[in-house]
Structure 1
């Protein structure tokens, strides 16, 4: 199908992009990599009156260090995240999760910030961002503000972004030396996650000193498995201790029911995949 008519603008600065978005009102949409928006437009599931393309805004791309924080531009592609040495050294969980996103073509075009702003609960980057205590820097007509990942995701495909705001960058505290793994369960290759687990741990000898675990598609927003994290800290990095901690994975979750799985099956998957993710992370 052919999309409904819309006005197209391609600003070259963040300020111009924000201004264009504000002028378009609530019916304007931001175009990042386009891997989610363009199919929706073609099927006429959305009919925005204005598209603001961020592809020419150079300041939204790239990865840099600021002290103990990595700053990832919202328009940095998945492909660039996979191969960036700073992310590999200081936020390995993001690399592990990005490796599972769709296929190489999508990873070359899709963007880190676009995936997060899209807020699909089955998306593979939301739970890692939550687990790593990331912060989202957004910009609107009133200037810039920072929103913690725990406060950024509101509901299905809904975030704290206001109609005139764009996601500028994601700030990720360094997790240097932490081991990580992303365990994903899907029906077929390259499909959305039925359930996935983002796990990163810091070990001290044979003991788990710190642990952070995020769950994908176990609610309308990504979820921290705090019960698992608490159960792991101070425990030996053994299969028995990990298995016991993983039993807490489904606590506080509210998974949806669809053609792929019911609540009980998703909660079972959360427990099993959490055990696998933590075991793989500990093993390095």
Structure 2
């Protein structure tokens, strides 16, 4: 199939883009933001999305780049995933985000797809929302009334739906630098390398006096939005990370999941079993890394 006909606009500044978006919304035009297009273009081709106008952010230089700022790593929304993957700053200072980026699709997709585009798309099978939850990331959005910072816990609403307003543009994502002694892991299961995950888990934790503290777990690919695995966190915090305890925490995390999604590729119970297995593996890996980073 081919997309429906649409007008194509390429603003050169953020201010111009925001003004365009506001004007077109006031005129009642169905408008979409193009921020790399690795998700939107297939939707256009299949006519799942039928916008009247596309606003392409590719020429807005201020939306690109990576920097460290007062204990945070800041990534411009139009920075490609490949740039994030190649960044020594991210690899050394926030290795969980780096590992998650390497799991995204294939190299050709990461060359073109933008970091901000993935966050704004809000696909529940994407790695980034889960990482955002366990890292307490923040998203910066700009609209006609100015800018606002949205915590990750408030950003992802439901299936491919975020708390961005229709006249706002995501301009950057912010993540804290990983503290020394923090263990981390991310694992997923997909039918083929590069496919969207049928289920996945991201974890961070610390070891203090031989027990686990500040455990944060999130599951992706199982519910309409990425979800924190708070039952698993509670089952592990304050306990030594022996194999039996890790297994109990993983089981608690999976058991507490609200009814996981069912599709042609995986039943609800299969996804629940995947989360249990992946959570146990992630916890063991995170414990090992926490010990190494604390040494």
- Measured against the shorter chain, the TM-score band is over 0.9
Task: Name which of 119, 123, 134 aligns with 1:120.
Answer: 123
Question: Is 1:54–2:57 an aligned residue pair?
Answer: yes
User: Which has the higher mean CA deviation after the structures are superposed, 86-95 or 198-207?
Assistant: 198-207
Q: Which residue in 2 is equivalent to 1:255? A: 260
1:225-240 alignment, distance < 5 Å: 225-240=229-244
Q: Is 1:139 the counterpart of 2:145 in the alignment?
A: no
Q: Which ranges in structure 1 are unaligned for 5 or more consecutive residues?
A: none
Q: How does 1:131-170 map to 2 (within 5 A)?
A: 131-170=134-173
For structure 1, which segment, 267-276 or 77-86, has the greater mean C-alpha deviation from structure 2 after superposition?
A: 77-86
8 Å contact 2:190–2:199 — kept in the other structure?
A: yes
Structure 1 contact 223–253 (Cα < 8 Å) conserved = no
1:281 aligns with 2:286: yes
On the 8 A contact 2:233/2:253 being kept in 1, the answer is no
Q: Say whether residues 1:193 and 2:197 are aligned partners.
A: yes
Q: Which residue of 1 aligns with 2:21?
A: 21
Q: 1:265 aligns with which of 227, 250, 270?
A: 270
Cα offset, 1:16, TM superposition: 1.0
Q: Is the partner of 2:213 in helix, strand or coil?
A: strand
Runs of 4+ in structure 1 deviating by more than 6 angstroms, as ranges, are none
Q: Paired residue for 1:87? A: 90
Distance in 1, matches of 2:196 and 2:140, equals 26
- Shifted more, 77-86 versus 97-106: the winner is 77-86
TM-score (norm 1): 0.95
Deviations for 1:151-200, whole angstroms, at most 9, x for unmatched residues?
A: 11111111111111111111212223322211101112211100000112
SS in 2 for 1:99: helix
Cα offset for 1:206?
4.1
Q: CA deviation at 1:275?
A: 0.4
Query: How many angstroms does 1:146 deviate by?
Result: 1.2
- CA displacement 1:122-175 (0-9 Å, x = unmatched): 112111111111111111111111111111111111111111111111121222
Looking at structure 2, the residues matched to 212 and 86 of structure 1 have their Cα atoms a distance apart, in angstroms, of 23
Note the C-alpha offset of 1:75. Answer: 1.2
Alpha-carbon distance change, 207 to 224 in structure 1, aligned in 2, over 3 angstroms: same
1:42 equivalenced with 2:45 (yes/no): yes
CA distance in 2, matches of 1:184, 1:235: 25
Q: Aligned residue for 1:243?
A: 247
Q: Give, in angstroms, the shift of residue 283 of structure 1.
A: 2.4
The alignment's C-alpha RMSD in Å is 1.5
Structure 1 residue 231: Cα displacement = 2.0
Query: In the superposition, relative to structure 1, how do residues 12 and 193 fare at CA in structure 2: closer, same or farther (>3 Å)?
Result: same
Deviations 1:105-131 (A, max 9, x none): 001111111111101111121111111
How many residues are matched? 284
Q: Which residue of 1 aligns with 2:4?
A: 4
The TM-score normalised by the length of structure 2 is 0.91
What residue ranges of structure 2 are gaps of 5+ in the alignment? Answer: 290-295
